[in-house]
């Protein structure tokens, strides 16, 4: 149920300060992460090759890490370079090492064939370190199959119901976006015209507005959206002719821990020039909204788990969800048969 040959987010860069070893589990595989002396991120199997003790309990020594059970030492490539009490290091003594890239304040780890780890495949995003955008990062653990969270992102009709207190707006359930299939995902775009502001902003925005939502969801699990708000204009199709009031980016990644859990990394922000208050409001709004998603999706997952063979009835709003599921199933099947997933 996982695509392997792709970059997964293992955390925000601030999750991994120098000198600290952290544990992560991605697609069911345990990882230990730490920084080399030059700051580069090392991701290795979190299971010592001696007696399988967790290496995240180890200690960093220069660029290496020492297992703190019986003291075997591993270099960043995962090769054992020292076994205390003996001169000879067994030739096969090694743990798996994973390619990493730090970009846009995310730590990316390649979980598949290391020879195919191409940083060009890392999706575009804007991180909290961006000089122009005041992006506010956060994360949440969902006790659910990660695919249900991706489904949720591909169908905004749920904004009307799940997010009635935070985002709201009947318009989302009663209109359809434009859906375009991409090579590695879906692009979804819609104009929403002459509507009240999102609920969580209505204390400062009381008029009527046009909004533009333009996002892509890329395999396995990256969502990037530009969301803009204009004064309500007169255009009935194409771009709004109202005045641009708010321009934002939100960058999100849903990372499967295993079949039953995922970590949701997300940020939302406005240009720094808009002032801190704007991004403060967005950060609060998105966190509240994702708690709403968490409750609904965890409940949905519990039902599915309790009765996995029960039939689901399709509706028109499932269009992008279904296409993305097919895309991912093809990629997973292609990896199993050894054909390139891209």
How far apart, in whole angstroms, are the C-alpha atoms of residue 86 and residue 180? 60
Q: How many CB atoms within 10 Å of residue 77?
A: 13
CA distance 56 to 156: 39
**Of the listed pieces 36-44, 117-125, 287-295, 318-326, which binds Fe ion according to CB under 5 A?**
287-295
Question: Residue 251 interacts with ligand FES (CB under 6 A)?
Answer: no
Q: Under the criterion CB under 6 A, does residue 81 sit at the interface with ligand FES?
A: no
* DSSP code for 152: H
Report residue 304: phi and psi, to 5°. Answer: -65, -40
Among 15, 22, 53, 258, binds ligand FES (CB under 6 A): 53
Q: Which does 51 bind (CB under 5 to 8 A by kind): ligand FES, Fe ion, none?
A: ligand FES
- Partner in contact with 69, chosen from Fe ion, ligand FES, none, beta carbon below 5 to 8 Å by kind: ligand FES
Nearer Cβ to ligand FES (65/107): 65
CB of 41 to ligand FES, least distance (A): 22
φ, ψ dihedrals at 143, nearest 5°: -85, 75
Report yes or no: 129 and 269 within 8 Å, Cβ to Cβ: no
CA 182 – CA 320 distance, rounded (Å): 11
Task: Give the binding range for ligand FES (CB under 6 A) out of 70-78, 168-176, 269-277, 278-286.
Answer: 70-78
Tokens of 108: 């990316």
Q: Which is nearer to Fe ion, 29 or 145 (CB)?
A: 145
What residues numbered 255-274 form the site for ligand FES, per CB under 6 A?
A: none
From Fe ion, ligand FES, none, which one binds at residue 70 (CB under 5 to 8 Å depending on kind)?
Answer: ligand FES
**What torsion do the CA atoms of 185, 186, 187, 188 make, to the nearest 10 degrees?**
-150
| Residue number with the smallest Cβ distance to Fe ion | 293
Quick one: CA torsion of 141, 103, 108, 332, rounded to 10 degrees?
100
Distance of CA 129 to the CA centre of its chain: 17
289 belongs to the binding site for ligand FES (CB under 6 A)? no
CB nearer to ligand FES: pick between 12 and 69: 69
The span of 92-100, 109-117, 289-297, 329-337 binding Fe ion (CB under 5 A) equals 289-297
Q: Which of 18, 40, 70, 314 binds ligand FES (CB under 6 A)?
A: 70
Per 3-state DSSP, the chain is made up of helix, strand and coil in percentages (nearest 5) of 25, 35, 40
Instruction: Give the whole-angstrom CA distance, residue 110 versus residue 273.
Output: 35
| Cβ partners under 8 Å of residue 311, min gap 6 | none
**What is the C-alpha to C-alpha distance for residues 146 and 292, in angstroms, rounded to an integer?**
16
Residue 52 or 208 having the CB closest to ligand FES:
52
| Binding partner at 293 among Fe ion, ligand FES, none, C-beta below 5 to 8 Å by kind | Fe ion
Q: Is 327 in the site for ligand FES (CB under 6 A)?
A: no
Which residue in 216, 293, 320, 324 binds Fe ion (CB under 5 A)? 293
Q: Which of 12, 30, 36, 50 binds ligand FES (CB under 6 A)?
A: 50
Q: Which is nearer to Fe ion, 151 or 293 (CB)?
A: 293
Does the protein bind ligand FES through residue 305 (CB under 6 A)? Answer: no
Beta bridge partners of 178: 189
* Residues near ligand FES, by CB under 6 A: 48, 50-51, 53, 67, 69-72
């Amino acid at each position: 149920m996982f695509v392997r040959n792709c970059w997964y987010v293992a955390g925000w860069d601030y999750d991994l300060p120098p000198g600290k070893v952290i544990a992560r589990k991605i697609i069911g595989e345990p990882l230990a992460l730490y920084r080399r002396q030059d700051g580069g991120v090392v991701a290795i199997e979190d299971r010592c090759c001696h007696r399988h003790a967790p290496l995240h309990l180890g200690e960093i020594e220069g660029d290496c890490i020492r297992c703190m059970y019986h003291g075997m030492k591993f270099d960043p490539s995962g090769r054992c370079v020292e076994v205390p009490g003996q001169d000879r290091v067994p030739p096969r003594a090694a743990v798996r090492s994973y390619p990493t890239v730090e970009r846009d304040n995310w730590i990316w780890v390649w979980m598949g064939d290391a020879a195919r780890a191409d940083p060009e495949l890392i999706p575009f995003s804007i991180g909290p370190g961006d000089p122009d955008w005041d992006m506010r990062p956060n994360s949440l653990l969902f006790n659910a199959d990660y695919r249900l969270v991706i489904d949720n992102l591909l169908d905004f009709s749920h904004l009307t119901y799940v997010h009635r207190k935070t985002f709201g707006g009947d318009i989302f359930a009663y209109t359809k976006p434009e859906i375009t299939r991409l090579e590695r995902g879906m692009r979804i775009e819609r104009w929403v015209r002459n509507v009240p502001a999102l609920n969580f902003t209505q204390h400062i925005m009381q008029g009527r507005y046009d909004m533009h939502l333009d996002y892509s969801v890329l395999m396995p699990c990256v969502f990037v959206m530009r969301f803009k708000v204009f004064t309500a204009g007169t255009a009935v199709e194409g771009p709004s002719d109202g005045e641009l009031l708010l321009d934002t980016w939100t960058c999100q990644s849903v990372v499967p821990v295993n079949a039953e859990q995922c970590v949701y990394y997300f940020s939302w922000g406005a240009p720094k020039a808009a002032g801190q208050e704007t991004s403060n409001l967005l950060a609060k709004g998105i966190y509240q909204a994702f708690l709403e998603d968490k409750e609904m999706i965890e409940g949905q997952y519990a039902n599915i788990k309790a009765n996995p063979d029960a039939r689901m009835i399709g509706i028109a709003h499932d269009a992008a969800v279904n296409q993305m599921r097919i895309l991912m199933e093809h990629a997973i099947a292609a990896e199993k048969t050894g054909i390139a997933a891209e």
